[in-house]
Amino acid sequence: MARLERLAGAWHGVLAAGLAGALLSLAFAPVDWSWLAVAAPAVLFYVAAVAPRRQALQAGYAFGLGEFGVGVSWVFVSINEYGGAGPVLAALVTVLLVAGLALFPVLAVAAGRACGPGRTARLLLALPAAWLLVAWLRTWLLTGFPWLFLGYATLDTPLAGLAPVGGVLGLTAVLALLAGAVAWLAAAPSWRRGAYAAALAGLAAAGGVAGERASWTEAYGEPLSVALLQGSFAQDVKWDPSQLPRILERYARLTEAHLGADLIVWPETAVPRRFDRVAQPLEAVAGRVREAGGALVLGIPYRVAGAGGATLHNSVVAFGRERAVYHKRHLVPYGEYVPLRSLFGRSLDFLGAPLADYEPGPAPEPLRLGPELTLGATVCYEVAYPNAVRRTAAGADVLVNLSNDAWFGDSLAPHQHLQKARMRAAESGRWLLRATNTGITALIGPQGRVAARSPQFEVAALTGEVGRRRGATPYTRVGDAPLVTTAGAALLGLPLAAWYRRRARAGA
């Protein structure tokens, strides 16, 4: 073990951490090698605990470069192929993003080392707690980037039953604790340490099984027949004004073929024109759906006139017995608006929204389509934020997520995006209907399992039956606050406990 420690404290440890970070991406969709969500951070934790401080921080940065360099490589595809920036500028933006995101593992390593008074404390508590807190930080700092959380790798494992209890961050905490236990065992193998790691894994699995069997929410009423329409328009075609008649015709035709469904859903910005300019043909289609006894939900840019001037929103319009509108609240910087527009002017428009900068909507409320149906709506990237879904989940019968993953092409992103939607369904105990422009359109059950999905890059209509559900899961009720508070208290309590022990010994 002394030799292993020497290697971890040299450049070998930094290299191993970088490789582990790159391999971590394989723990997520579409590869789904879930065991890597424990093995990869275990490598980093081991190096962080035994190496000198400088090498430990370097290992943290190497891990971050590997993790985000592979895991969010789709950013290059979006900017190069669909942003029109060209490969050089797209590569520069991607490198800068990865370099910035890689600082988060460094922060976790620094905090874990600073608060852990010894290797055992670092591995079993300080580093896992710091990892969780940094993950939580990524949900809101600079508008947030909640991508590649360890917990997403658990969806097809026995641990998935813990999602309604602790959410994705709770599952991330469990995997970080397991990673710390594995690293602790590797630092000094013994049957006691092996038994501890095995007991921790067994306890987590048992909790997951128990959580899955619990009845957090219940079905009620008659099932809904739904049709999710996937128009499959390439991004450069979608925003070509000359293509609008073709787009409207395709969605109207697909809708006509599924009249009689209780709910028909079109994807995000299915109609790439302001609502006020195409309201008449859309009302005509919606009228046909209503006559057949159903409701129509679609994504479209929406202009709102106000005393301070008009604002443009990325919106969901629901045509039930009455019209209801949801304006996307959590916008993507540089994807849907350009921050500091007064400073940058039009120079960064290649990163921004195709029409103009969108404005965030007000606090979300469920979309009420009538007395029989209430929807919790999110648009595209919002489904990556647990709280964006949690705010309306308890008051919704069914969740809907409208997206346009054409921005990502044939990359990792659509698969990762679907995985996040699955976690939101599991956290809330609700069916989630995911309608996308080019795929992956999916019907997701209340335990996060995909009941049906469409092929990518094909015109498709995904049909099925889903159940209305009521009630609230523990996670929907309390969110992340108890978990984050506990982790923070544990991290701060370690150095205080060590100080108290030293003082007690000195007094003795």
Q: Where are the domains of the chain?
A: 2-214+479-507, 219-300+317-325+368-469
User: Who's near 72: CB < 8 A, 6+ residues apart?
Assistant: 94, 97, 98, 101, 147, 148
CB atoms within 10 A of CB 448: 25
Q: Give the residue with greater pLDDT, 26 vs 406.
A: 26
Q: Give the residue with greater pLDDT, 218 vs 508.
A: 218
Residue 341 has pLDDT above 90, yes or no: no
Averaged pLDDT for residues 405-432: 95
Question: What is the structure's pLDDT at 9?
Answer: 60
Please write the tens of the pLDDT for every residue from 105-164: 999 999 999 998 889 999 999 999 999 999 999 999 989 999 999 999 999 999 999 999
Instruction: Indicate the pLDDT class of residue 381, thresholds 50, 70 and 90.
Output: very high
SS3 state of residue 139: coil
Domain spanning 219-300+317-325+368-469: which superfamily? Answer: Carbon-nitrogen hydrolase (3.60.110.10)
Q: What are phi and psi of 400, to 5 degrees?
A: -130, 140
Measured CA to CA, the distance from residue 305 to residue 275 in angstroms comes to 13
Do residues 251 and 271 make contact, with C-beta atoms less than 8 angstroms apart? yes
| Gyration radius from the chain CA atoms | 24
- Percent of all residues in the chain with a pLDDT value above 70, rounded to a whole number: 94
Residues with catalytic roles: 268, 328, 380
Indicate the Cα dihedral angle 345, 349, 354, 356, nearest 10°. -10
The DSSP symbol for 46 reads H
Residue 7 has pLDDT above 80, yes or no: no
Token pair for residue 201?
A: 């894994």
Report the chain's mean pLDDT, rounded to a whole number: 92
The DSSP symbol for 78 reads I
Instruction: Indicate the pLDDT class of residue 332, thresholds 50, 70 and 90.
Output: confident
Q: Which of 295, 239, 310, 236 is nearest to 270 (CA)?
A: 239
Question: What is the structure's pLDDT at 76?
Answer: 92
Question: What is the structure's pLDDT at 439?
Answer: 87
